[in-house]
A and B are shown apart, each in its own frame.
Chain A
Amino acid sequence: MIEFLIPLIKVILALVWLLLLTLYVADWVERKESAIIHDRIGANRASIFGLRMIGLFQPFADAIKMIFKEDFTPSFSRKFLHSLAPFLSFFFVAVTIAAIPFGDTIRIGSRIIKLQVLDINVTLLFVLAMMSLGIYGVILAGWASNNRFSLLGGIRGAAQLISYEVAFGLSLVGLIMIYPSLKLSSIVHSQGELLFGFIPKWGIFLQPLGFIVFLFAALAETKRVPFDLPEGESEIIGFYTEYSGLKWGLFMMTDGMEIVIVSTLMTTLFFGGWQVPWLQADGFHWPWGGEWFLASWIVVILQVLAFNLKVFFFCWFQVLLRWTYPRFRYDQLMDLGWKLLIPLSLVNIVGTGIIMSL
Chain B
Amino acid sequence: MIRALGYFIEIIRGSLITARHFMANMFFHILKVLGIKTKRKGAVTIQYPEEKKELASRHRSLHRIMTREDGQPRCVVCMLCVTVCPSECIYVEAAEDPDPEIQKRPSQFVIDLNRCCFCGFCVEACPEDAIRMDTGKVEIAQYDRQDLIYDLDKLKE
- B156 interfacial by beta-carbon distance below 8 Å: no
**A320-B29 in contact given A36-B42, A39-B43 (Cβ < 8 Å):** no
- B36 interfacial by beta-carbon distance below 8 Å: no
A: interface residue count bin: 10 to 19
Complex: A36 Cα to B27 Cα, angstroms: 10
In the complex, the answer to whether A40 meets B43 with C-beta atoms within 8 Å is yes
Least Cβ–Cβ distance between A93 and chain B, in angstroms: 25
With CB as the reference atom, state the residue of chain A lying closest to B15: A324
Partner-contacting stretch, out of B16-24, B80-88, B113-121: B16-24
**A36-B26 in contact given A41-B43, A41-B47 (Cβ < 8 Å):** yes
- A323 interfacial by beta-carbon distance below 8 Å: yes
Contacts of A36 in B (CB 8 A): 21-22, 25-26, 29, 42-43
In the complex, the answer to whether A321 meets B44 with C-beta atoms within 8 Å is no
**A35-B43 in contact given A321-B15, A324-B15, A325-B14 (Cβ < 8 Å):** yes
Complex: A59 Cα to B104 Cα, angstroms: 61
User: Using a Cβ cutoff of 8 Å, how many contacts connect chains A and B?
Assistant: 40
With CB as the reference atom, state the residue of chain A lying closest to B4: A340
- A53 interfacial by beta-carbon distance below 8 Å: no
Least Cβ–Cβ distance between B143 and chain A, in angstroms: 20
Complex: A358 Cα to B19 Cα, angstroms: 40
Complex: A324 Cα to B25 Cα, angstroms: 16
**A320-B43 in contact given A36-B25, A37-B22, A39-B21 (Cβ < 8 Å):** no
In the complex, the answer to whether A33 meets B15 with C-beta atoms within 8 Å is no
**A323-B18 in contact given A36-B29, A39-B25 (Cβ < 8 Å):** yes
Interface flags, A151-184, vs B, CB<8A=1, else 0: 0000000000000000000000000000000000
- B102 interfacial by beta-carbon distance below 8 Å: no
Interface flags, A317-328, vs B, CB<8A=1, else 0: 000110111000
Complex: A39 Cα to B11 Cα, angstroms: 21
Within 8 A of A (CB), among B23-65: 25-26, 29, 42-45, 47
Contacts of B15 in A (CB 8 A): 320-321, 324-325
With CB as the reference atom, state the residue of chain B lying closest to A39: B44
Contacts of B18 in A (CB 8 A): 37, 320, 323-324
Contacts of B17 in A (CB 8 A): 324
A320's partner among B11, B22, B42, B44 (CB-CB below 8 A) is B22
Contacts of A37 in B (CB 8 A): 18, 21-22, 25
In the complex, the answer to whether A320 meets B45 with C-beta atoms within 8 Å is no
In the complex, the answer to whether A325 meets B22 with C-beta atoms within 8 Å is no
Within 8 A of B (CB), among A26-46: 33, 35-41
**A324-B14 in contact given A36-B26, A39-B25 (Cβ < 8 Å):** yes
Contacts of B22 in A (CB 8 A): 33, 36-37, 320
Complex: A40 Cα to B48 Cα, angstroms: 13
Contacts of B14 in A (CB 8 A): 324-325
Complex: A36 Cα to B17 Cα, angstroms: 12
Interface flags, B81-110, vs A, CB<8A=1, else 0: 000000000000000000000000000000
Within 8 A of B (CB), among A299-358: 320-321, 323-325
With CB as the reference atom, state the residue of chain B lying closest to A321: B15
Least Cβ–Cβ distance between B32 and chain A, in angstroms: 11
Contacts of B45 in A (CB 8 A): 39-41
Least Cβ–Cβ distance between A324 and chain B, in angstroms: 4
Closest 8 CB pairs of A and B: A324-B18, A41-B43, A36-B25, A324-B15, A39-B44, A37-B21, A37-B18, A324-B14
A sample of 14 more A-B contacts (CB under 8 A), given A39-B42, A40-B45, A320-B18, is A36-B22, A36-B25, A36-B43, A37-B18, A38-B21, A39-B21, A39-B44, A40-B44, A41-B45, A323-B18, A324-B14, A324-B15, A325-B11, A325-B15
| A interface residues with partner B (beta carbon < 8 Å) | 33, 35-41, 320-321, 323-325
A–B pairs, 25, beta carbons within 8 Å: A33-B22, A35-B43, A36-B22, A36-B25, A36-B26, A36-B29, A36-B42, A36-B43, A37-B18, A37-B21, A37-B22, A37-B25, A39-B21, A39-B25, A39-B42, A39-B44, A39-B45, A41-B45, A41-B47, A320-B22, A321-B15, A324-B14, A324-B15, A324-B17, A324-B18
